[in-house]
Homo-oligomer: A and B are copies of this chain.
Amino acid sequence: MARTRGSSGPKTMQAIREAGVRLIYQHGYEGMNLRQLAQQVGIQAGSLYNHISTKQALLFDLVREHLEQLLRELDAALAGIADPVERIEAFVAFHVNYHMVRKREVSVVNFELRSLEPANYAAVVALRRTYERRLNDIVDAGVASGAFAVGDARVATFAILALLTGVCTWYRPNGRLGRDQIVAVHTGLVLDGLRGAKPKRAARPGPGRSSKRARGRARR
């Protein structure tokens, strides 16, 4: 007899989360409204408040949970790897894959932080810093071991993150390149950047400013 309409039971919260990410990704936090959200979940707007406390709390929840999961999965992906080059490779593979598979969640995390209230913002930025530090530590270790040569480790860290994160702005699941290829290309770019390139003309002084070698791929 009971309730005839809309979603129900313990699945509702999950549905809210998923629709929330989707809508925030499409319209931004400010641009999303709770009536839309409720409609996608299949309930009335007022009913959302049986599951969330405020719109802001929903955003914070989504962002924090995804950052925590990101960190957990990163640590799992790096576990047991010691060599900086291999750790970088693992990091790139993990980060790029995660950003392709969960591009919506990631975009929300990256672009909607400004809508967080100060306290929430601080908590989230701390998590993000932790993630950045993982990469920064690898770069530092590689520099220390002589595997990498970078002008500035901090800038390099940001640059790598920007480079790798950029993938979630253009990746399409059925695009020209498969995920493995995209990972390979980015791994090549990052490692090349971290090692420093061999001067093109190397030891031979001649004018020949060129020499064709598809080395990025070759090295893979």
- Chain A residues within CB distance 8 Å of chain B: 26-31, 83, 85-86, 89, 92-93, 111, 114-115, 145-152, 154-156, 158-159, 161-163, 165-167, 169-170, 176-177, 180-206, 208-220
Contacts and interface: CB of A to CB of B under 8 A. Distances in A.
A203 B208 CA distance: 8
Contacts of A214: 149-151, 180-181, 183-185, 188, 196
A173 to B, nearest CB: 15
B210 A27 contact: no
Given A165-B162, A183-B214, A200-B147, A188 B86 contact: no
Given A152-B181, A185-B152, A202-B208, A215 B196 contact: yes
A98 B151 CA distance: 21
A149 to B, nearest CB: 5
A40 to B, nearest CB: 18
A194 B218 CA distance: 12
A181 B218 contact: yes
A213 B184 contact: yes
A71 B219 CA distance: 26
A155 B185 contact: yes
A215 B202 contact: no
5 closest A-B pairs by beta carbon, nearest first, are: A162-B166, A198-B198, A187-B216, A196-B215, A184-B216
A195 B196 CA distance: 10
Contacts of A189: 156, 159, 193
A12 to B, nearest CB: 17
Contacts of A191: 197, 215-216
Given A163-B163, A187-B213, A201-B210, A219 B149 contact: yes
Given A26-B114, A152-B177, A155-B182, 15 more contacts: A28-B28, A85-B210, A89-B216, A89-B220, A92-B216, A146-B201, A155-B177, A156-B185, A162-B166, A184-B214, A184-B215, A188-B218, A194-B197, A198-B204, A198-B209
